[in-house]
Amino acid sequence: MIKTETEGERGLNRLARLWRGVMADNEQITARQRGSRRRVIVTIIGLLTTFGGVIVVRERLSQQPVHKKVTVLKSAASTAIDWFDQDDLPRKPIVRPASYVGPQACVSCHAERVSEFKTTRHFLACVLPQPDKMPSGFEPGKGTYQTRDPSLRFEMSRQGETFVQTAVRTTADGEQRSTAPIGLMYGYRAGSDEVYFNWHDNRLYELPMVWLHQQNQWGTSSFDAYGSGDFSRPLAPRCLECHTTWVGHVPGSENQYQKEDLILGVTCEVCHGPGKDHVVFHQSHPENTTGQDILHPGHLDRQRQLDLCAQCHSNAIKHRGHTYGYRPGDSLDAHYKTLQTQHPEDDHVANQTGYLLQSKCFQKSDLLTCTTCHNPHRPRDVFVSGSASCRKCHQPEDCPEQSRVPEAVRDQCSQCHMPAFNKVQVHFRMESEPYFPPVKRWEHRIAVYPTARDEVLWQWHRTQNEEHSHREVIRLRKTLSEHWLKEAEKLRGDYRFIAAIDAYRQALRFDPAPATQEKLDALIAIKTQLDDDFSLALNRLPDHAEAIRLFNRILAIKPDLPQAHGRLGTLLSMQGQQELAIEHWRKVSFYDPNDAYGEAMLGWNAYLQARYEEAITALRRADDIEPFNAKINLNLGLALASAGQISEAIEQFKKVVDIEPQNLDGYHNLSLALRNQMKPTEAIPFAVRATKLAKNQNPELLMILAEIYAEAGRPSDAIFAAEKAVGLARSSKSNALGQLRKRQEKLHERSKRVSP
């Protein structure tokens, strides 16, 4: 058995070799893959330190003796072995469930309702690019955006019926152009930001350029300045789940979809459930008007109604199962883990239901739901007004401010009690203004907001000509400016830079003082440098000393940045500074309880040091934070196996291959664990799948498969697989050839002993 200390060193050394291999391969990566280099690097030194550990646990499991004599019987198979094309594992379907039919199937009976619904932002949440839908930014002369890098610009244009984004990089050899046709778009008719996506084969990517409607100009979302190609980033399925009704997502993939199955927009079946049975029944029973085989959301209890809206209007963003698994009437918590955020800028796009639940109005009512104020079948301009909704429970005289405010603003309940703030977590960089949030977020935590009341009064008095109103404008402007300046200083002191930037801008609305502008400019410069350093650090990871220097500089500016603590901890660990690494990994979840990186690395580090129970505890905490993550579950399985908890390890490995049906290490370790439990027959299909995923070109996997075949009483298959393994090792001049031959000889001897 290998000594514990050696195993830990070997694990880290393998990680270093893996790292060097990735960097050596960079010259052979395509332009699009080079654009994803940062993501690959972060994955490798983060949770995907799996390779070293998988090798270690393979050694452990394969070396553990089988504590029962296995009688090997001669297989009925002859020389024609076709196991390469056979395994008994079920295949996960990635086609559209037959129960989804799309909104057009509803038109024959609900034409008026569907026609009205087609004008809503739900229906238009994701649309195809068409000439009558595209903004003026694609017109000649309006489609150029110069980034902060003088050598990089983006051009947006129309080429026939196709709309494209082109990244133009100026190099010593001339211009390098990468054009990406736009395949999908978000934000049509939303009046704020419009985001674009590109299909590359069957993979979907978010493009960096965004059209800002109210500003009538282009901006950029975050992108890797050190990338190349079109600078796009993979579009995760959780994003599509909130903008489409259905698309076939390839399980385990980051952004691979069956685009021919795409049902655009948030349509009828998102809220009423899949409609095939309903349509079939009523086509054959037109006289029946009772609404068979369909769900009426209004008949759900209040929590399930809220869950229906919260599937997109909350922080429920981490999967507990496969994509598009939620159905109306389900408990949302069974399908997603909801982030618990400390500040609004930490929210994931929107969290209306989360804040609504904090309201006294909600807590003191048994009836208040989203549809109390919103009619999902109608566009926003004909929603039930906020004041009318308030009057369902409150009378005007209930408001203590009624007698102290002008009559003209007394019915503006929502403006005072649900004010619209900038949704600062969604921001873009315009050429003239960085970190700009184009979207207003109505505060759904219904409460008393004196600042909102003061702004309503300030806006009204500005329209009046009386001397009293002039004095009130001056007073309120001073009050509001001082409030926002004080807020900005507090936020900056708490390292909440994005929120502080917005607060300085709010202060400038009321008093454009040069001193305030200077503070805003200085903070923007700090935030910009912070982002630049972080991007540079990720791209300098092979140079450990430089990356460590950059991460330390980042933490000197923003000491509560969990991502910097996590990556710095990994680099320090790779340099042997384990205690300091652990200190930084612990800070990840301390500063962000929704970030599993630190716990995952604490678990992995403990595993490498053979502290298996400690590793299991940390990895379980990581799994609780990130409950549907194949890497975390694989590492947890490795730790359980090494601790001798083989049955529990098997369950983890099964979860791995459920999450990622193409996960080679999951299948391989599952087969080893089943073999360890003296279940070689059960292990065979998993071992076969592992060899297939390795394209039948991994001699070690083939030899292990041969040994499992032998233990399952299939000697002919065992000998065939062993010959294949040795042949591959010989042709590749593998250093393992000698050992593989010895194992092959043992299989031959074993076969002879059981032959009649």
581 burial (CB, 10 Å; 0-12 / 13-18 / 19+) is buried
CB 138 within 8 A of CB 155: no
Among 506, 407, 413, 511, which residue's Cα sits nearest to residue 464?
407
The region of weakest confidence among 19-33, 123-137, 610-624, 680-694 is: 19-33
- Contact between residue 717 and residue 702 where contact means Cβ atoms under 8 Å apart: no
The Cα–Cα gap between 280 and 733 comes to: 63
- Note whether 637 and 663 are within 8 A (CB): no
Amino acid found at 62: S
- pLDDT tens-place string over residues 93-117: 555 567 899 999 999 999 999 999 9
In the block, tokens 């002191």 appear at 493
Question: What's the pTM?
Answer: 0.87
Which one-letter amino acid corresponds to residue 444? H
Domains of the chain plus CATH, in order, are 66-91+661-756 (1.25.40.10), 124-266 (no CATH), 298-398+409-445 (no CATH)
Q: What is the mean pLDDT of residues 222-245?
A: 95
> Token pair 């301009």 is at which residue?
381
Q: What is 234-285 written as a DSSP string?
A: E--HHHHHTTEEEEEE-TT-SSBEEEEEEEESS-HHHHH---HHHHHHHHH-
Lowest mean pLDDT segment, chosen from 374-378, 543-547, 669-673: 374-378
* Site of tokens 């807020």: 487
Is the pLDDT assigned to residue 35 strictly greater than 50? no
Amino acid in the structure at residue 548: I
Tokens at residue 320, please? 């507990």
User: Token pair for residue 252?
Assistant: 């385990």
Gap between the Cα atoms of 651 and 665, Å rounded = 14
Classify residue 41 as exposed, middle or buried by CB count within 10 Å of its CB (0-12, 13-18, 19+).
buried
Q: What is the pLDDT of residue 11?
A: 38
Structure confidence at residue 261 as a pLDDT band (50, 70, 90) = confident
Residue 176, pLDDT > 70, answer: yes
Output the CA–CA distances (angstroms, integers) from residue 663 to 25, 43, 520, in the order listed.
22, 15, 48
The overall longest dimension of the chain from CA atoms, in Å, is 113
Summary mean pLDDT of the chain: 87
The continuous run of DSSP H or E covering 197 comes out as: strand 193-200
Burial state string for 371-384 with b = 16 or more CB within 10 A and e = fewer than 16: bbbbebbebeeeee
Coil vs helix vs strand at 539: helix
* Per-residue model confidence as pLDDT tens digits over 614-635: 999 999 999 999 999 999 999 9
| Contact between residue 566 and residue 601 where contact means Cβ atoms under 8 Å apart | yes
The CA distance from 433 to 551, in Å, is: 26
Mean pLDDT of 320-324: 95
Q: What is the pLDDT of residues 552-564, one digit of tens each?
A: 999 999 999 999 9
Here the tokens at position 116 are: 């009205």
Q: Please say whether the beta carbons of 54 and 668 come within 8 A.
A: yes
Report pLDDT digits (tens) over 66-103. 333 332 323 333 333 344 445 666 555 555 567 899 99
d(CA 384, CA 378): 10
